[in-house]
Structure 1
Amino acid sequence: MLEALKSLFESSALSEEVKAEIQDAWDAKITENRQQVTAELREEFAKKYEHDKSTMVEAIDTMLSERLAEEIAEFSEDRKQLAEAKAKYAIAMRENADLMKNFVLDQLSKEVGELHEDKKAMASKYAQLEEFVVEALSKEIAEFYEDKKDLAETKVRLVREAKEHFKKVKSNFIERSATAVSETVDKVLKGEINQLKEDIEEARKNDFGRKIFEAFSNEYSGSYLNEKSESAKLLKVVELKDKQLAEAKAFAAKAKTLAEAQAVEKKQIVEAANREKIMRGLIAPLSKDQQEIMTDLLESVQTDRLQKSFDKYLPSVIDGQSPAKRKAILSEGTEVTGNREKTTTHVKADESNVLDIRRLAGLN
């Protein structure tokens, strides 16, 4: 039919208006049929969708119900197993806690016991160390005291021996040098007398020549130079001023030097007087020999340390010889501190003899 209509349209039997009307009617019919088919298809698809939807919902509902039942059953089983595991864990933890508690208590008791033992050992070692330190320190102090005392005694002995030796050397030197000096003086005196005679003769000759020269100079000045001229007067004035200026400078320098020397001398005199006063007060109670020895010992000591050095050398100077070493007296005593015993050593210096000597010398 389409081919017939197509051939009809292509032929010239129909007019353009008829073709247009036929074409419009054809298009309208096609549109109507298309709408009808579309409506039928929509209705059919809607029914099919509703059917498929109900089928799918039923299938999903069935599947969800089955899966949910399985999951609920599995969850119940897991919950039951969890409760059983918790019960077993609680029982095991109770047993393990008891074991852990016993283990911790055992270890803690051991550690505490070891700590107490270490503290006791440290306390005993500390006590031994303290005793050793005290004993060693007491020995060192005693030795230091003896060494200090020996040093003072040795210095006094050396000063005394040096003084005696110096006296012997001095006497020998005087005896030997007297003869040598006498011979030397005689020889030198003879030479000097001869030289003096020659010098006197030479001086006489020089004096005679000087007199001749002065006479010639006076005669020349009186004959050829006019000392009353103005230039000569000015030269004399200038010479006089220069001489006065030089004398003034020399006097000022001499005065400055003299003032400085007097200040230094005054300071030295004051210091010497102060030292002499202190020395006299210190050595006044001693005998003459002891004063000489003490003066020699204190000669190189500073003024502000005289008293301290005097106290140090006094026992040895009064003894007159190097006394035997006095050993320090060591006395042991026990001190109770809590539940621990400790032995300490005390050093007592024997100073009673020194005090007696100072009292006999009148220094107390």
Structure 2
Amino acid sequence: MEMKSLMHRYYGRFLLALMALSMVSSSNGATQEKPKSVSLIFNLDQGMPNGIIENLDLGGLDRALDTVQSFETKYKVYALYSPLTARTDRLKRVLAATARHRMRFILDVYSSDVIAIGNIGTRVRADAIPHEGLAISLKALEQIKRDPLIGPFFAGIRFHEVAAVDFTVKACLDSKSGPNRVDWCDHFQRNLRQRNILQPSKIRPFFEFARRHRMMILWSDWKWDQGTIAQEEQLATLLASGRYSDLLVLQFANNLPGEAARTNDSAWQSWLKRYRPAVGHTVHALGLSDQSWTCANQKSCPSSVIIQWMKRGLEGRATIFSFEPSFYYFLLPEEQHPVGYPNAPQWRSTSGKASPALRLLAKELGVERLD
């Protein structure tokens, strides 16, 4: 009872803040309309060393984009990429190919992946800051947006697991030695140099960039609990002006550790109750990141788990769905696979095609035929 009372006190305080922010944004004339259709976002590359961009798998990219475009008969569709790579020429070629498909795309800006793999698995671009979780600079984003071919299809930016990684980095730094030491920080120890990853003063300029260009702002996270109350209050600070209420999408990610969300949706239901009142006021919409990472073995996660979560999202009035990782939904190598896969015979003509799991998901979404 004491723990329940404590949680209610935290959440009650935060809900009051949300209600206050809603009143501010309403007085500024923010839109009250909800999105009129469901949007689907397919993560095609999260910055891994064996991803489409690093390996310049343009054949696989074309096949994946053809598949993604099959969903456009019923949904608004986006591709999602990480711009982390130091091979910026390859990134540009991938974005140009995406534009030729007339496919809208979203780029990760801040991401837990940057800390986990930046200059560890993937060599990063000069303007990335791995220990801050920054994948790309504001200047570089402006250059992409001004590109006459690519820019018109650059439709949004994502902040991926920023609250979770802020919490994680603090826990790692507090447990580097002594009896409470944890070993799950060892992999990205070299990037544990800054305690506060979520800093509104550094994030706000990227929000303003999206606002100037009328682009989606996607904020996706799996940790929305009593452990991240401070981080959620910082997010509330970013939303306080109501300036982003027609652009900002909050997204619940179902990749909770220990398969906590595989069959239990209590965290999702709690999140919905807390943030649904903000829709049309301080945020534009709510969404769901439907990930095979919700299973301990992400490659063999049953498609029924993914489909059930999609149904939960629709029942909860989510309107923006992301699907990741890429190697679950498309025929692509897993993260531990050696680089250079496009030249291997088993991948040369098959990479990027829809996986069996994606075909089952498509059928549930009413898309009968995938190219």
Q: TM-score, normalised by structure 1?
A: 0.17
Which has the larger strand fraction?
Answer: 2
Larger Rg, first or second structure (1 or 2): 1
Which structure carries more helix by proportion? 1
TM-score relative to the length of structure 2: 0.17
